[in-house]
Amino acid sequence: MPHTCCAVGCSNRFTPETRGRGITFHRFPKDPVMRKKWERAVRRKGFTASSSTMLCSKHFRPEHFDRTGQTVRLREGTVPLSVFKSNEEKFSLTPSDARTSRTSMKARESPPPETIQPPIPPQVLPEPAPLPEPTIDHAYASTPEELRVKLSEALARLETLEREKRNAKDRERRIRNTVSCLLEDLELKKTMNEELKERLDVYSDLPVHLLSKHSHEYTKEQRDFAMTLHDHGPKAYNYLRECLHINLPHPHTLQRWIHSGESKPDIMMLDTPSQDDDAANCFAQETVVQENMKLSQVNSLPYEDFVNIFGNVVEKCPFVAAAVWSQLPFADVDAFERAICDFIDSMPDLGKEGILRCHPDLAGRDLETGALTQESRSEQATVALDALSSDESCTMFCLNEEYKERFSFPFVICARMNDKASIFQEMRTRMTNGCVTERERGIEEVKKISCLRLRDLVQSDTESQF
């Protein structure tokens, strides 16, 4: 129920129409002293204000208000005006208040004779100063009418979007029903010959569900499909996205997914030959030729050949081979191994972490895209990390990401000395180690990998005699 101003003779009510005219309403203060002052200013006999009693802004001076914010407030210590009626209302008498005596009625009927009085010179009264206009300091302040218009526009826009959404769903449903009916009619009328069936079967395996976005986010399957499609052909990807308007994410979004590790493609890449593959095959053939070298041949190798052959004994760290070359000749293969291990041990902690970061993730993106070195590819293949199931691949990916987030370098283990089950177990167990302990543990695994790779390349002169 709307409240009414408690001032005598004031008919302003707390309604939207009244507030639209700029009239504000203010409750009596809670402070007992100020509340008494307000009650005395009202000048109503026996009047006591309640918690809901209000006075309108007509009974305050303009300087009493603080209009700097969105809400009009009274300044501290403000007391309403003690006189609510104007002088005209105060001294005007209603017919019921007029005197009814014989003399009074006679005086009203016969006015006194007019007397000539000298004219009074007009007095020039000063013009009243204009009231200060309320200022709106905040750009976001709006009138109720403006807010009402904005709300109406937003509701109309929402209704339009919902109607378009319903229409789009209806069109999609009708198209699907039409296609299904056409196929049924073809089968019933026996007009589906072998040639037409083969043509339709060609398009039956298209991943249509991967090309439609049913929510504001892409599913994991859609992400993997988009990344694999972009890897096969960026130009074709852009053509499908921009010209055919297929719902595919922007290439920048794909880059963000790759850098953040949010997704990785589960669809295998096509085996398309390229110049990089040819170069890799030539390098692999050259490495095979250099396998099982005699130690005497190793001791006589020049610097460039030595680094080219043994540069990947420590994964992607040819500087280790470059440093070890200065210790030639080696008495035996064990001395060669000790030289590599001693150099790794002599490195600072940051250098050791750098060696660990050169190793790839187990069953990671490099394995799927074919970016692994020949040694890493063959080592991961020995424990079938290149043939994981979908659940195993997802588990391995989560463990790799959790490990790197904890230690800031990838998980390293000698795959040739373990099996698939023990690798999963080691990843979970070593996750509880401290950073220093895990760094040293990873370096020990690097040494094991290096020694096995070295044994694949070099044999002692005594072994070659048998």
Dihedral sign of CA atoms 42, 45, 50, 54 in order: negative
Q: Which residues of 237-255 are buried (b: 16+ CB within 10 A; e: fewer)?
A: beebbeeeeeebbeeeebe
User: Are the C-beta atoms of 257 and 219 separated by less than 8 Å?
Assistant: no
Confidence at residue 204, expressed as pLDDT on a 0 to 100 scale: 56
> What angle do helix axes 251-260 and 220-232 make, rounded to 10 degrees?
110
Helix intervals (H) in 115-143: none
Give the pLDDT score at 433: 92
Q: How far apart are CA 37 and CA 68, in angstroms?
A: 26
- Looking at residue 120, what is its pLDDT? 53
Q: If the chain, 466 residues long, is cut into consecutive pieces of 10 residues, what is the mean pLDDT of each piece?
A: 76 81 86 86 82 86 82 85 49 44 59 53 58 53 80 88 88 81 72 65 56 66 79 75 75 74 47 44 41 84 92 92 92 93 93 92 86 89 88 90 92 93 93 93 95 87 47
Query: DSSP string of 58-110?
Result: GGS-GGGEE-SSSS-EEPTT----S--S-HHHHH---TTTS---HHHHHHHHS
Residues forming the active site: 359
Query: Which pLDDT score is estimated for 11?
Result: 81
pLDDT of 425: 92
Task: HSE, CB side, 13 Å, CA atoms: give it for residue 109.
Answer: 7
Cα–Cα distance for residue pair 12/371, rounded to 1 Å:
81
The C-alpha atoms of residue 23 and residue 4 are separated, in whole angstroms, by: 12
Q: Are 412 and 446 in contact, with CB atoms under 8 Å apart? A: yes
Count of H-run helices and E-run strands, the chain: 20, 6
